[in-house]
Amino acid sequence: MSSNQALFERAQHSIPGGVNSPVRAFKSVGGTPRFISKAQGPYIWDTEGTQYIDYLGSWGPAIVGHSHPEVVEAVQAAAAKGLSFGAPTEGEILIAETICQRLPSIEKIRLVSSGTEATMSAIRLARGATNRRKIIKFEGCYHGHADSLLVKAGSGLLTFGNPTSAGVPEEFITHTIVLEYNNLEQVEQSFAELGSDIACVIVEPVAGNMNLIKPKAGFLEGLRRLCDAHGALLIFDEVMTGFRVGPQGVQGLSGVTPDLTTLAKVIGGGMPVGAFGGRAEIMDNISPLGAVYQAGTLSGNPVAVAAGLKTLEILARDGFYEFLGKQTSRLVEGLCQAAKDHGVNFSADSVGGMFGLYFRDQIPSSFAEVSDADTEQFKIFFHSMLEQGVHLAPSAFEAGFVSAAHSDDVIEATLQKAQTAFAKVAESIA
């Protein structure tokens, strides 16, 4: 049995930073990442045999719980027939039909292999369909690591953004306008000055990549109105929220209909799947029907599709989302009470099966506000919970996830451990 530390040291010899995605390195919280050997229901186990209550959920996909027996059975049956064909399968049609039936905004959909592929392709499609160049995104919203999306806000409202990654030339993000999330006035000003060249607005309708941030009343409706008025397309990036916060994602909760939607995570049931879809007249601009090129060797992989289809089937069962929302609310309310018991400045929020934890008095509504949270207190809380067997996202800027496998007993056990963690935070303040 190898220790987490030994594996991390070994990994760094062959993998940059020892991890295959940056946040896994624990860089923002310090310490050694846990190398996971197995998962079941609400639990994961590291290679040292330590069990944890998991609120990472593979960053969202594990909505029915890890290794759900029905999902595993579907994957095994599909794998026995072949891992990949590079040719059409009936399963691709079935999952496309299922998603189109459940999300009325989607008339046609294209499967890809990741959320980054989905958002990158949706933006290219928006530009091709409108014959325009510029896009609007919001600071703190993450839409994958395509060059034109790795951008932070410029020094002024209409100044172009600055790359947030080495290797991204400034000219690649010349047409990306970065605005403040929940600030509709900035969007109005941008359209007033540049509207005839704005192809689309892309937004996480509930942000999950700067922690959980909900849209203010009227924000999404305002984006819809402005896009309609100026002939731009509205893209909802529901890679994280799709089928996670409700049966129709944020668009179902808000009643705001996007032109294009990007999906991933839940629709793959833990396997690599992404998708983008929308109105038929827009989607028909995609090759082979139209001039906007997009392709993928593993798109619609039969094993991944099988996992996604079975997961979507489970989500459609009576009472699924009601139970999921109840458990998430119970967790959030209990954490807030535990913080209050120890006099710690803390707030929390949730929607469906997603939640956010903030070491600040009030729930934030923008990247600037969430950046005001006390990250040192979060580190203390995170490590105390981890030491007690609760696995949270290793960053104060990431949302957390509850699954249907998080029973009352699991939530109660989490809240008991949180009392100890908040006590340690309180000691650090005294």
Q: Which residues are catalytic?
A: 142, 237, 265
242 within 8 A of 119, measured Cβ to Cβ: no
DSSP 25: G
Strand partners, 250: none
Q: Which contiguous run of DSSP H or E holds residue 305?
A: helix 302-315
Q: In what order do the strands lie in the sheet with 354-358?
A: 347-351, 354-358, 400-401
Helices (H), 162-286: 184-194, 219-230, 249-254, 280-283
Structural tokens at position 92: 């691709």
Return d(Cα 47, Cα 42) in angstroms, integer: 17
396 within 8 A of 211, measured Cβ to Cβ: yes
324 within 8 A of 285, measured Cβ to Cβ: no
Return d(Cα 228, Cα 242) in angstroms, integer: 23
Q: In what order do the strands lie in the sheet with 176-180?
A: 108-112, 274-278, 260-263, 233-237, 198-203, 134-139, 176-180
Burial code of 105-134, b = ≥16 C-beta within 10 A, e = fewer? Answer: bbebbbbbbbbbbbbbbbbbbbbbbbebeb
In terms of DSSP bridges, do strands 347-351 and 354-358 run parallel, antiparallel, or are they unpaired? antiparallel
Structural tokens at position 228: 């309609």
Tell which residue, 166, 172, 161, 155, has the closest CA to residue 138: 161
Residue 351 burial by Cβ neighbours in a 10 Å radius (0-12, 13-18, 19+): buried
Neighbours of 196 (CB within 10 A): 11
Tell which residue, 380, 384, 385, 395, has the closest CA to residue 428: 380
